[in-house]
A and B are shown apart, each in its own frame.
Chain A
Amino acid sequence: MLSWFAFLTAGRPLGVSSAFVRLAAWIEGLIAPAHVEATPYLARLRPVLDWEFFLVAGIGLGALAASRLGEVRRQERPPAKRIAEAVIGGFFLMIGARLANGCTSGNGISGSLQLALSGWVFFLTIFVSGAAAAMLFRREAR
């Protein structure tokens, strides 16, 4: 139902991953503005702080509100191995998402619900490859 709302009000489906390109474009713009202008993939994503960017900010706030309404647990500091996993996992997650032109939300859900071929192919690919990786590396998982 939230995607009805997004379609009606913003005229577009929900998606998350390109906000990270905007964030990267914004940071790079502070350091090396000429480089951003020279890289079409970065330059085409103006305005930087758009609907999707605030959508992503809202996701964080919404989850914070939801967790505060539930029981509040103190968050432990993650061990170094977990930090490395998260940074490397996040890095490749975004490479994969941008290569496929969308993530679980933009491609998997918003694409699939419109019955887009792109959405269903992406959904099935991540499910099969993720399950294979989990079976290989995370059998012992908690």
Chain B
Amino acid sequence: MFDTLPRILLGLLTGFLFGFFLQKGRVSNRRVILGQFLLRDFTVMKIMMTAILVGGIGVYAMLAAGWVQLSIKPAHLATIVLGGLIFGPAMVFLGYCPGTAVAAAGEGKRDAWWGLLGMTLGAAVYSELDASCARLRALADFGPVTLPQITGIPAHVWFAAVLVFAVLFFRWIDSRRAA
């Protein structure tokens, strides 16, 4: 029933830092999240791009050093796209994603508590439906592949491309806002 104590404490510590940064980064505020979807406030994109770049370069460096292994989820594209199409609008209505909902709830935001109730019900209902989604999952299953594997373009080129795109894009956004 329980994981080992060191793993539990590590989970708690990692979560604590994650929640702390989410709140300080203002993404436990649903107006900031909604602002991103309305393309008015790019805080969420900036945080996600930073996390992807910093995290990704670090993880690939540790992979090269042999310290870690990647943990790639299989690309079941049919269920990922369908799930994403449900997830995006649901995130607009709730105003949070699962992680930021937990952060907002911890902060004491009442609407997020109700969101957690809905999420737990959703998880229970999905558990009943999972078996019937097997065929849909198999429909477009590309396995646990990465972009470098399918394109032959190495990881550092991908990160460089994302970095250049992010810098140019956010500069453009900020200059437009200043104008």
Binding site for B on A (CB under 8 A): 1-14, 16-17, 20-21, 23-25, 27-28, 39-42, 46-67, 70, 75-78, 82-83, 85-135, 137-139, 141-142
Contacts and interface: CB of A to CB of B under 8 A. Distances in A.
18 contacts: A39-B128, A41-B126, A60-B15, A63-B22, A66-B23, A83-B111, A90-B119, A92-B87, A93-B122, A96-B87, A97-B87, A101-B73, A103-B97, A105-B99, A108-B48, A116-B75, A129-B85, A129-B89
B76 to A, nearest CB: 7
Given A51-B8, A112-B56, A61 B106 contact: yes
Given A57-B12, A65-B20, A128-B88, 16 more contacts: A39-B127, A47-B2, A54-B8, A56-B15, A62-B15, A78-B110, A86-B94, A89-B92, A92-B93, A93-B98, A97-B83, A98-B122, A117-B142, A118-B74, A125-B84, A129-B89
A92 B86 contact: yes
Contact of B98 (A8, A82, A105): A105
B74 A3 contact: no
B52 interface: yes
B20 A103 contact: no
Interface in B143-158: 144-148, 150, 155, 158
B91 A94 contact: no
Counting chain A CB atoms within 10 Å of each CB, the highest count among B60, B82, B91 belongs to B91
A116 B89 contact: no
A88 B111 CA distance: 12
A109 B100 CA distance: 13
B62 to A, nearest CB: 7
Given A13-B71, A101-B73, A55 B22 contact: no
A14 B14 contact: yes
Chain B, interface SS category? helix
Contacts of B110: 75-78
A101 to B, nearest CB: 6
Given A86-B115, A90-B122, A118 B76 contact: yes
Contacts of A83: 111, 114
A67 B92 contact: no
Given A39-B128, A60-B102, A121-B75, A1 B23 contact: no
Contact of A60 (B74, B90, B105): B105
B46 interface: no
A89 B82 CA distance: 16
B13 A23 contact: no
Nearest to A40: B131
A81 B3 CA distance: 39
Contact of B124 (A28, A92, A93, A110): A28
